[in-house]
Amino acid sequence: MVARQVDSLQDSSRFVIRPNCSLPWRGVVRFYLGMVVVSFGIAIAFALKGAWLILPFAGLEMLVLGAALYVVARRGCRWQTVSIKGDRVEVVEHDSTCTRRQTFQRAWAQVTLEQARINGHPSRLIICSHGRAVEIGGYLAEIEKEQLALELRQAVRPPSLTGLGSMP
Amino acid sequence: MLVSKVKRWLTALAGTALLANAGGAAAEWKLNLRQGVTSISQEAYDLHMLILWICVAIGVVVFGAMFISIIKHRKSKGAKPATFHESTSVEIVWTVVPFLILIGMAIPATKALIAIEDTSNSDLSIKVTGYQWKWGYDYLGEGVSFISTLTTPKEQILNQQDKGENYLLEVDNPVVVPINKKVRLLITANDVLHAWWVPDLGMKRDAIPGFVNEMWFNIEKEGTYRGQCAELCGKDHGFMPIVVVAKNEADYQQWLTDQKAAMDADAAGADRDWSMAELMERGEKAYNTNCAACHQANGEGLKAAGFPGLKGSPLATGPMDAHLQMVMNGKPDTAMAAFGGQLNDIDIAAVVTYERNSWGNDTGDLIQPSEVKAAR
Amino acid sequence: MSTATTHDTHHEEHPRGLLRWVFTTNHKDIGTLYLIFALAMFFVGGAMAMIIRAELFQPGLQFVDPQFFNSMTTMHALIMVFGAVMPGFVGLANWLVPMMIGAPDMALPRMNNWSFWILPFAGIMLLGTLFMEGGAPAGGWTMYPPLILQTGDAFPYLIFSVHLLGISSIMGAINIVVTIVNMRAPGMTMMKMPLFVWTWLITAYLLIAVMPVFAGAVTMLLTDQYFGTSFFSAAGGGDPVMFQHIFWFFGHPEVYIMILPAFGVVSQIIPTFARKRLFGYSSMVYATASIAFLSFIVWAHHMFTVGMPLTGELFFMYATMLIAVPTGVKVFNWVSTMWKGSMTFETPMLFALAFVVLFTIGGFSGLMMAITPVDFQYHDTYFIVAHFHYTLVTGSVFTLFAAAYYWLPKWTGNMYDEKLGKLHFWLSAIFVNVLFFPQHFLGLAGMPRRIPDYSTQFAEFNMMSSLGGFAFGLTQLLFVYIVIKTVRGGSKATDKVWEGAEGLEWTLPSPPPYHSFTTAPEVK
Amino acid sequence: MTASTGSNPKLVKRLLLIVVGMFGFGFAMVPLYDVFCDITGINGKTGGRVAIAAVIEPDLDRTVMVEFIANVNQSMPWDFTPVVSRMEVHPGKMYRTSFHAKNRTDRTMVGQAIPSVTPGLAARHFKKTECFCFTEQQFLAGEGRDMPLLFMLDPELPEEIEVVTLSYTFFDKHKAIN
């Protein structure tokens, strides 16, 4: 999801980009533990009856489920803000543990949408300048990325500044 | 249209029940559960009818309500949708009422089940062994035992002849039991799972290799009752019927005596010399009941299913000793069973002789029952 | 398929042609693939059913030998369960769950792609066993040892393909669970989710809980056969009945896995055409959850005849009877939804109504079979065959048809041919009853299941059943024609399609854009 | 834009609790079932060796009929019969009987006998102190011998049981392994 605050008069805009995440991390953990208890409960009960070969399959499955939940939940904890103000483009990446900040010269900043080399794989939306680059919204749907790329380009170099038109 | 369709099924269901209650002769067993000839089967039948009627009643109410709304509350008749969509009290009612109905069903069912599972105080015990694809019976304490196999000719099965009255439900050696006696069956299996079931006796039980299961019945009426194996057991699962003949006590005792005499005669017969013709005749019969299922009546086997042919095979035309060993002791890890324990000396000698002199296997070899006896 | 043509502007992003389908990570593409696969397998399994019914048309052996007949019953069941019904519902989930909860796609699109593409390989391997030495597996889909150990060369392939099918289901289920749990649109709380999503959440939960049990069971068969273990062989201290306990501990939840999403579909369709909100939404959710819960404690009712102690038989009888309560609640709720509605009878509604009636008939026979003393008579007869075909064909398969007609205009943007749809319904509904209703009588009269030949007293009803079967099979070709015709064109469907339809998927254009919900929708 | 909405976590928590509870009960059924299999002796498994520690007072007023049955699996080429087919026994008293087996083949074979008791309820009251089923039995080609069985019925055997059937099935060990 992308939330925008565009102030065309002051020529500043701020984009908050985050994946939608309907269950908080704690809920995910509880859900997972519940599932583990059930699955291992069944497997252990059968193992006690002598059918121990169910146990490794239950373990394997719980690993995959855990990985899936983790990947998705972690994706949900990551969010980025792109602020464009004055002569700076600032990209702040937040994840569960740290915050990274990158600043680009607005005049030099390029917004590009790189198509994937392998068919069907997602494209990458990148802001770069002077050999430094940062990917924006890797988790967004293709069409969202396109939309965002368009809006970012406009925000970085508004038509009103280049004189090619005016914002409504 | 939908109304009439469901009505039709309901009338079919109700009709089924009515016919059965009225005791309509032919229709009775064609549409409804058999009433059978034992107390168990009667109880099962009564429970079946009780629950059928309860289901019909519930069906009439539920489908009735549904069809009333289908007919009356349709848009084409200008029906405007109501807005209600919840009612806790109604939900509670239709949770509790079915629950009470279930309790009403559970009480007679529990009683019947307890009676069925009570195998104590039996008058007679018969061990039943399921084989691929025949049944073995062993009258415990009487020393009578035999194998019971399908007798329907291959020609009838392959539609080359008209089918007989008891097509697929006829055997060479039926189980004979006395009436009004509690007969206990101890059921086990030799190879894979089978299930012993005669519908008129009201009970079925799985035969499991290595374990013994119990069931009982007490037949109230003399007669012949037919059933089939009811657990998938491989290729000829559909061709291992069960025939139970219920006789009065005197006839039963007579039958027991005859059986013992026949077994003694066979034991005696094993010592005399048999002619080629005698062995071939008996061998053909024994081959068709015991071997033809896999090796086929024409001796060509079923290669696709992994059953080798005997026609011109090195085994059936080579050394006699190896052939006899194979028949008596089987081949490990294959479907080839050891027949030494199932057939008597005469039959084994006859089968071996038959296999060596049929379908162009012209060895001219002949083996005497006494030689088989010596080889044991 | 339709989605491919609607986005000319983005074509350079998506590989075209076949490769697009191989590499796609789009939930709509994958949903379509699942549905096509399920339909194809429905016909493969159906062809096997036709062979079975042809052989049973008359007493005597006519067309196939008994071993091949057993292979047909076994493969028919495996293919219909794992190849047709389950992928069918997973396909629906792929198409609909993201659209219904307002997510852009499934949570793990790449895993989604893998979980589909495992299926064709597993299916081909399973079908390949037909050509192996010793023939295809013929021990029944329940794979009871020791009989299944008599399978020829096909045995390891059977186990491996079943494993693959299981892996595919697991990955599908995990994906659906994670999507529903974590990707709902803001405002889409659990108790606002459409019932189809709810039933799939519970179904996926069941799948995750029992699939390892199944994988373990078949692996133990494999080690028993090749590695000298004796889990199920009495000779080494094992127990062949143990397999049945394990199998049905998986198997009973499995049959609910095939019916719960059907409940969800019907709960979407009936309110739409009754133009009235679903009656008792929350009780529907709780009823579904209770059915799922009960499915874990009733497994032994599939094996009453193995000789359990009396206490065990009583416990499983009572637990099984209890299932009637939540199932009844669902049926009553559907009927109450129709009550005082404003009903119209388009094809999806017709299938849903037939579902309510015929599934309930299947439920009645299920209740009868719960009664252990009578089940000793019903067990392993055609009465059972009739029962589970009423629940699986007029239950699951009919709802798959209903769902296809209901959402096809949304998926393709084109209306299906209503006249042909109704014809398909009436032919299906009539012939399915001609096919399966007489089987009740056959079972009651004493005809065991899984036999290639039968005594002459069963001839009339078998012939009737076979005729119904052929007609039902042929009728389904009409469905293929209708679907192809709809995909290729037809009158344009509106976004809402149905006057009474409610839910997020109807706010999208028909057909929906390749990537739905660029900005999350607000849920009222 | 906030990822989690207010009422969701609470509801999820409640639902999860219900679900976990349900499933907990579901899987608890398995060991429960296990327990009642042990109590009731499902499939008549008698378990392994039973050591009888204390001397039990025999119940001489009660007699129970014990039947012996012998089977071979997969038509194994052995003769296998109980030496006595039935015995009247007093619960609490030790009895000795034997089974006869003969290997009809011309090769050495190893067999394993598997016991099974009916009715299932009697299984755990059937105490064996010495049994040929405890170990594998090797028979040389053509060898035949009697194998002893030393057993006792527990006096706690339920009153209603009057006949107990002990069945042995000989399995070909070679076949079982392959």
Measured in angstroms, the CA of D142 and the nearest CA of chain A are apart by: 36
Instruction: Say if residue A147's pLDDT is above 90.
Output: no
Instruction: Say if residue A121's pLDDT is above 80.
Output: no
Please tell me whether residues D34 and D52 are part of one structural domain. Answer: no
Please tell me whether residues A69 and A92 are part of one structural domain. Answer: no
A95 reaches D (C-beta below 8 A):
no
Please tell me whether residues D29 and D49 are part of one structural domain. Answer: no
Please tell me whether residues B58 and B139 are part of one structural domain. Answer: no
List, as one string, the DSSP characters of B279-337: HHHHHHHHHHHHTHHHH-TTS--BGGGTB---TT-HHHHS-HHHHHHHHHH--TTSS--
Q: What is the pLDDT of residues D35-82, one digit of tens each?
A: 555 544 444 445 544 555 556 777 788 888 888 988 888 778 888 888
* Helices and strands, number each (H, E), in chain D: 2, 9
CB-nearest partner of D1 from A3, A23, A38: A3
Q: What is the pLDDT of residues B120-168, one digit of tens each?
A: 888 899 999 999 889 999 998 888 889 899 988 888 998 888 888 889 9
Give yes or no: C13 in active site.
no
Q: What is the pLDDT of residues B320-376, one digit of tens each?
A: 888 888 888 877 667 787 787 778 888 888 888 888 888 888 887 888 888 887 777
- Total domain count, chain A: 2
Please tell me whether residues D25 and D70 are part of one structural domain. Answer: no
Please tell me whether residues A47 and A119 are part of one structural domain. Answer: no
Model ipTM over 0.85: no
Please tell me whether residues A86 and A141 are part of one structural domain. Answer: yes
Question: B: neighbours with 3+ CB pairs under 8 Å?
Answer: C, D
**Residue B291 tokens, joined:** 């071997």
Decide if C147 and B306 are in contact by the 8 Å CB cutoff: no
Please tell me whether residues D53 and D134 are part of one structural domain. Answer: yes
Counting one residue from chain A and one from chain D, the pairs whose CB atoms sit within 8 A come to: 59
CATH number at A87 reads: 2.30.29
- Total domain count, chain B: 3
Please tell me whether residues D72 and D91 are part of one structural domain. Answer: yes
Q: End of a domain among B267, B295, B316?
A: B267
Residue C236 in contact with residue D176, Cβ under 8 Å? Answer: yes
Quote the pLDDT of residue B298: 83
Quote the domain boundaries for residue B362.
271-375
Q: How far apart are CA B226 and CA B247, in angstroms?
A: 15
pTM above 0.90, yes or no: no
Please tell me whether residues D25 and D7 are part of one structural domain. Answer: yes
Please tell me whether residues D98 and D59 are part of one structural domain. Answer: yes
Query: Is the residue at A166 inside a domain?
Result: no
Please tell me whether residues B277 and B242 are part of one structural domain. Answer: no
Quote the pLDDT of residue C298: 93
- Total domain count, chain D: 2
Average pLDDT taken over every residue of chain B:
85
Please tell me whether residues B192 and B133 are part of one structural domain. Answer: yes
Which one has a higher pLDDT value, C217 or A100? C217
Please tell me whether residues A92 and A147 are part of one structural domain. Answer: yes
Decide if C189 and D8 are in contact by the 8 Å CB cutoff: yes
A vs C contact (3+ beta-carbon pairs below 8 A): yes
CATH number at D84 reads: 2.60.370.10
Please tell me whether residues A83 and A145 are part of one structural domain. Answer: yes
User: Which residue type is seen at C487?
Assistant: V
Rounded percentage of chain D residues whose pLDDT exceeds 90: 1
Please tell me whether residues B276 and B213 are part of one structural domain. Answer: no
Query: Is the residue at B216 inside a domain?
Result: yes
Query: Is the residue at D178 inside a domain?
Result: no
**Residue C29 tokens, joined:** 């593409």
Quote the pLDDT of residue B336: 80
Query: Is the residue at D163 inside a domain?
Result: yes
Please tell me whether residues A91 and A152 are part of one structural domain. Answer: yes
Give yes or no: C449 in active site.
yes
Please tell me whether residues A47 and A8 are part of one structural domain. Answer: no
Please tell me whether residues A65 and A116 are part of one structural domain. Answer: no
Q: State the best of D67, D71, D117 to mutate against chain B, taking most chain B CBs within 10 Å.
A: D71
B vs C contact (3+ beta-carbon pairs below 8 A): yes
Quote the pLDDT of residue B368: 84
Quote the domain boundaries for residue A92.
2-18+79-161
Please tell me whether residues B182 and B59 are part of one structural domain. Answer: no
Please tell me whether residues A66 and A94 are part of one structural domain. Answer: no
Please tell me whether residues D27 and D101 are part of one structural domain. Answer: no
Please tell me whether residues A44 and A91 are part of one structural domain. Answer: no
Question: What are the residues facing D131 on neighbouring strands?
Answer: D149
Pairing between strand D126-131 and D144-153?
antiparallel
Please tell me whether residues D100 and D137 are part of one structural domain. Answer: yes
> Residue D178: pLDDT band by 50, 70, 90 thresholds?
very low
Residue numbers of chain C with a pLDDT score lower than 70: 1-16, 514-524
Please tell me whether residues D112 and D129 are part of one structural domain. Answer: yes
Question: What are the residues facing D96 on neighbouring strands?
Answer: D150
Which one has a higher pLDDT value, C516 or A111? A111
| Structural element, H or E, at residue B155 | helix B154-157
Query: Is the residue at A99 inside a domain?
Result: yes
**Catalytic residue selected from C27, C184, C252, C389:** C252
First to last CA, chain A: 24
HSE-up of residue B280 (Cα within 13 Å, Cβ side) = 12
Please tell me whether residues B143 and B217 are part of one structural domain. Answer: yes
Quote the domain boundaries for residue D10.
2-40
Chain A, window 66-125: residues with a beta carbon less than 8 angstroms from a chain C beta carbon: 68-69, 71-73, 76, 115, 118-121, 123
Q: CA angle B151-B157-B160, nearest 5°?
A: 115
Query: Is the residue at D177 inside a domain?
Result: no
CATH number at B333 reads: 1.10.760.10
Please tell me whether residues A66 and A53 are part of one structural domain. Answer: yes
Residue numbers of chain B with a pLDDT score lower than 50: 1-3, 5, 7-8, 11, 14-29
Residues in chain C closer than 8 A to D11 (CB atoms):
189-191
Please tell me whether residues D33 and D113 are part of one structural domain. Answer: no
Quote the pLDDT of residue B100: 93
Please tell me whether residues D16 and D62 are part of one structural domain. Answer: no
Please tell me whether residues B235 and B285 are part of one structural domain. Answer: no
Decide if D7 and C233 are in contact by the 8 Å CB cutoff: no
Instruction: Say if residue A166's pLDDT is above 70.
Output: no
Q: How far apart are CA C252 and CA C303, in angstroms?
A: 11
Please tell me whether residues A124 and A86 are part of one structural domain. Answer: yes
Give yes or no: C76 in active site.
yes
Q: Which residues does B contribute to its contact with D (CB < 8 Å)?
A: 119-122, 125, 127, 129, 131, 140-141, 186, 188, 190-191, 208-214, 325, 328-330, 332-333, 337-342, 376
